[in-house]
Amino acid sequence: MVYFTSIEKTGHYREEHEKDVPWSEVVEVIFKSSKNVKKKEGKYEIETGKYYILMELKNKALYVINAKRRR
């Protein structure tokens, strides 16, 4: 389990992924899948049947780097 006090968007997410996966869906997936988080190379991943989300934890804030809808 990952502990954080806020969830933030990175510039990369805003520019490349926000139009495909809206912020409300990203936050919903993070909270629903908080027990299925994998740590990989210092970053965290959530993979569900519909989504892939890549995040990084810095100073108790969870930064969303990448969010993709699976097809």
What pLDDT, on the 0 to 100 scale, is given for residue 1? Answer: 59
State the DSSP string of 2-21: ---SEEEE-HHIIIIITTTS
How close are the terminal C-alpha atoms of the chain, in Å? 27
- Please state, in angstroms and as integers, the Cα–Cα distance from residue 31 to each residue in 15, 16, 37, 48, following that order: 23, 22, 11, 12
Measured from the Cβ of residue 52, the count of other Cβ atoms closer than 10 Å reads 15
Give the tens place of pLDDT for each residue, 21-66: 999 999 999 998 877 789 988 899 999 989 999 999 999 999 999 9
What pLDDT, on the 0 to 100 scale, is given for residue 71? Answer: 80
Using alpha carbons, select from 56, 27, 58, 25 the residue that is nearest to residue 39: 56
The domains located in the chain, with CATH, are 6-69 (3.30.2310.20)
Report the predicted TM-score, pTM, of the whole model to 2 decimal places. 0.88
What pLDDT, on the 0 to 100 scale, is given for residue 33? Answer: 84
